[in-house]
Amino acid sequence: MIEGGAQTVSWQSCVIEAIVQQTPSIKSVFLRASKPFAPIAGQHVDVRLTAPDGYRAMRSYSIASTAASSLIIELAIERLPEGEVSSYFHDVATIGDAIELRGPLGGHFLWPDPAAGAVLLIGAGSGVVPLMAMIRQRRTQTPAVPTALLLSARTAEDVLFSEELHATEIGDPAFVLALAITREDPRRTSDFGRRIDSAMVQEVVARLDRKPTHVFVCGSNGFVNIATEGALLAGLDAAMIKTERYGGA
């Protein structure tokens, strides 16, 4: 769940088009919106569930898809312990179910337009979702912008969007991918076998051909603090660093 105040956007009914198991704990849920939907990479939506007795639960989720996806919205939802909404999507939801949705929301954590300088993306677990939207938007709009993603995951199996990220790295010389695998040895020499720290952030910055002019960090409170400190120690200006902190169920 993404923290942030709601904007004045009306609710609409969406229908689940597909559900894809991405990692052992994360599913992508593809929703067909009933109204035009044009998010900017980095934005999120509010999702509201209503029980037969009238009880409602609402959570906010980052959007993984881009405006080019038309009426189809992709949310990547992690199963969280005792999570009301995440448990519904993992255990109950089926294709054809109707879901209430409000968005797109958020005006701070956004892919720069125009994107001229290099970009550094740092995420952990499901925190890669808004960063993935940025990578996808970059691919269609500004593919020449040098971009590095430093992503932390427990194991290689837990790397969300792994196949797409590796394909992007292979086919795009301006894109740098570095994984921080915390619970097993990394499979590639370009990856790291430890939690993200300041030295790691500085090394990834050095892999870009120029100093980043935009930095986006998404993860838990502790993760964001460590990653931000690393960016500052790498000589990056605090004014260029934007953060998103997640939590909730």
Q: Find the range with the poorest average confidence among 5-9, 23-27, 41-45.
A: 5-9
**Which amino acid is residue 172, in one-letter code?**
D
Enter the pTM of the model: 0.93
A 10 A CB-CB count for 152 gives 26
The CA-atom distances, in angstroms, between 80 and each of 25, 85, 90, 221, 249 are 8, 9, 10, 17, 6
Distances (CA, A) of 46 to 10, 101, 121, 198: 10, 6, 24, 33
CA distances from 148 to 2, 122, 192 (A): 23, 8, 15
Residue 67: pLDDT band by 50, 70, 90 thresholds? confident
Percent over 70 (pLDDT), the chain:
95
Q: What is the mean pLDDT of residues 68-76?
A: 85
| pLDDT-based confidence at residue 247 (cuts at 50, 70, 90) | low
pLDDT of residue 165: 98
Total Cβ atoms within 10 A of residue 55: 9
Matching residue, tokens 């906010």: 60
Q: What is the mean pLDDT of residues 41-51?
A: 94
pLDDT at 3 over 50: no
Cα 245 to Cα 136: distance, rounded to the nearest angstrom: 21
Q: For a pLDDT cut of 90, what percent of the chain falls above it? A: 81
pLDDT at residue 38, rounded to an integer: 87
**Cβ atoms of residues 56 and 189 within 8 Å:** no
